[in-house]
Chains A and B, each alone.
Chain A
Amino acid sequence: MEITFYLAAAVAIVSTILVITRYNLIHALLYLVVSFLAISVIFFVLGAPFMAALEIIIYAGAIVVLIIFVIMMLNLTHEDVQHEKEWLKPGIWIGPAILSFVLLGELFYIFTAADSPSYQGQPVEAKAVGLSLFGPYILGVELSGMLLMAGIVGAYHLGRQKRKVIHRFLEGAEG
């Protein structure tokens, strides 16, 4: 079990590095799917199999497919890849990368300085998650339902195009 965790962690880190260094959007998205699948394996090892399934279905399925649809609608060409290559020069990415690595080093120092509590290793069942989701956290479920509704309405409102062609029955009435 341990070796599975470390292998999946290595795959997740490498594929995420590949995501953030690609110029081509579709290649980056394919590596993003690999990263999500590796993190799903980690959830499985940590004793959360239902969350592993949700990760694959929602993240690697729905969200990535949504982004791919939008990329297909945008109809990107080879020139956009060249633009991306121009935008990503070493002078731009070295500074933020060093600063972020300093933050990561501090995080590691805090983790290693404190004596780490050992992990018992008993899985949390999906039934317990469901019971607490519809017991003490029912208000959060209702709020996330409202959030999704607002997301649908907002996406429809923002993504709407100005109508260019009016229906032929309405043309006379308009003009």
Chain B
Amino acid sequence: MNPIPMDHGLMLAGILFMLGLISVLIRRNIIFMLISVEIMLNAAGLAFIVAGARWAQPEGQVMFIFIITMAAAEVSVGLALILQLYHQLKTLDSDAANQMHG
């Protein structure tokens, strides 16, 4: 297997993380913000996998499993919140979320 430089993998993770960051900054649709958080978590996991492959240690993949677990729990709670927001306010605008009153 030909070696791939570690910094190329880390650069890819950085680009993907930055794209998710831009999207979470510019979007007002709350589902798009949730998707952007998923992109950022996935990029962080990619960085862990690259580091784990560099030192040939299983710790990177262990961290990726924990990140995937956290992403699954986060997306289920986030989607439940989005459903409640939409049922109460009939909009997906994240600026309207301050009118939920608990």
Name B10's closest neighbour in chain A (CB-CB).
Answer: A111
The distance from the CB of B27 to the nearest CB of chain A, in whole angstroms, is 7
Task: Enumerate chain B interface residues (CB-CB to A < 8 A).
Answer: 1-12, 14-16, 18-23, 25-29, 31-32, 34-36, 38-39, 42, 46, 49-50, 52-54, 56-62, 64-66, 68-77, 79-84, 86-87, 92-93
Name B78's closest neighbour in chain A (CB-CB).
Answer: A155
List, in ascending order, chain B residues with CB within 8 A of A19's CB.
19, 23, 35, 39
| Assembled-state Cα–Cα distance A140/B77 (Å) | 20
Q: Mark A25-52, 1 if CB is under 8 A from B, else 0.
A: 1001100100110010011011110110
- Whether A93 is near chain B, meaning CB under 8 Å from some CB there, is yes
Question: When the two chains form their complex, are residues A148 and B1 in contact, meaning their CB atoms are under 8 A apart?
Answer: no
With A97-B22, A117-B54, A158-B81 in contact, do A1 and B31 touch (Cβ < 8 Å)?
no
Question: When the two chains form their complex, are residues A151 and B23 in contact, meaning their CB atoms are under 8 A apart?
Answer: no
With A107-B14, A124-B53 in contact, do A100 and B22 touch (Cβ < 8 Å)?
yes
